[in-house]
Amino acid sequence: MRLQGKVAIVTGGAHGMGEAESRLFAREGAKVVVADILPDLGDAVVDSIRADGGTAMFHRIDVSQEAEWEALIAATLAAYGRIDVLVNNAGISGSAVGDPDAIEGWNKLIAVNQTSVFLGTKLAANEMMKTGGGSIINISSINGFVGSDGGHPGYHASKGAVRIYSKAAAVRYGPQGIRVNTVHPGYLPPMLNGTNANSRALAVAQTPLRRIGVPMDVAYGVLYLASDESSFVTGSELVIDGGWLAQ
């Protein structure tokens, strides 16, 4: 029960890594708000958590919209009274927007992957500082450190921005007891919108541990940063990539 008594919001909690984090957090005693743009998948995750004896609710949000963040924060406070943990996990891959040179795709990636993290962090921090602090975990990527041939430049840019924005937020909110860290997953199963769909074999070959990750590999790292075990850790970067970035 490493999160006993804590209230946690997980964006993108309806699928993939966010789903794994929502389930793990609930098992560790947190009250979990599964926040996602997909209500059907999100409701199913919440039903399953409740069936296992956990506490969770679904809230629909488009994380690129500030008014929807305000509604999510209000709904969380109304249901559970406080916010201790925010995982800014929702994101889209470059393949969701196509043309790497079109301004529309660039703007969409920046809005969903980057601006969302700014909005969620500042609004959650405003509540966390009223209760003595909290932990914010922002999901970047190995692509927040390096570029790539086939990757969408907007994806790399958004994930790099999440990395350095989180350090600025860690410095800004540290005196209020709010920790802000980033997690950098390597190759994992394809995102809903198709990243890596045809490149599994190549990803395995390029990863020193010779496998791609599973969502729970990342969820355990996020759990550590969410829990009080990491109470002196802020502004840091947790890479969970099977050794890919070490090469």
Ligand X SMILES: NC(=O)c1ccc[n+]([C@@H]2O[C@H](COP(=O)([O-])OP(=O)(O)OC[C@H]3O[C@@H](n4cnc5c(N)ncnc54)[C@H](O)[C@@H]3O)[C@@H](O)[C@H]2O)c1
Q: Give the count of alpha carbons within 13 A of 85, CB side only.
A: 32
Report, in Å, the least distance between residue 212 CB and ligand X: 8
Active site residue 187: no
And the tokens for 29?
A: 């005693």
Which residue in 22, 76, 121, 141 binds ligand X (CB under 6 A)? 141
Report, in Å, the least distance between residue 59 CB and ligand X: 10
Q: Considering Cα of 156, then 158, then 163, then 165, what sign does the dihedral take?
A: positive
Cα 137 vs. chain centroid, distance in angstroms?
Answer: 6
Which residue in 8, 16, 137, 157 binds ligand X (CB under 6 A)? 16
Which residue in 6, 9, 15, 97 binds ligand X (CB under 6 A)? 15
Please report, as a single letter, which amino acid is at residue 191: M
Using CB under 6 A as the binding rule, whether residue 191 contacts ligand X is answered as yes
- What H or E segment, with its residue span, contains residue 178? strand 178-185
Using CB under 6 A as the binding rule, whether residue 187 contacts ligand X is answered as yes
Task: Give the burial string for 76-93 (b: 16+ CB within 10 Å, else e).
Answer: beeebebbbbbbbbbbbb
Using CB under 6 A as the binding rule, whether residue 38 contacts ligand X is answered as yes
Q: What is the DSSP string of 70-87?
A: HHHHHHHHHHHS---EEE
Report, in Å, the least distance between residue 6 CB and ligand X: 21
| Residues 75-134 close enough to bind ligand X by CB under 6 A | 89-92, 112
Which residue in 7, 34, 137, 139 binds ligand X (CB under 6 A)? 139
And the tokens for 4?
A: 């006993």
Q: Under the rule (CB under 6 A), what is the footprint of ligand X?
A: 11-12, 14-18, 36-38, 61-64, 89-92, 112, 139, 141, 185, 187-188, 191-192, 195-196
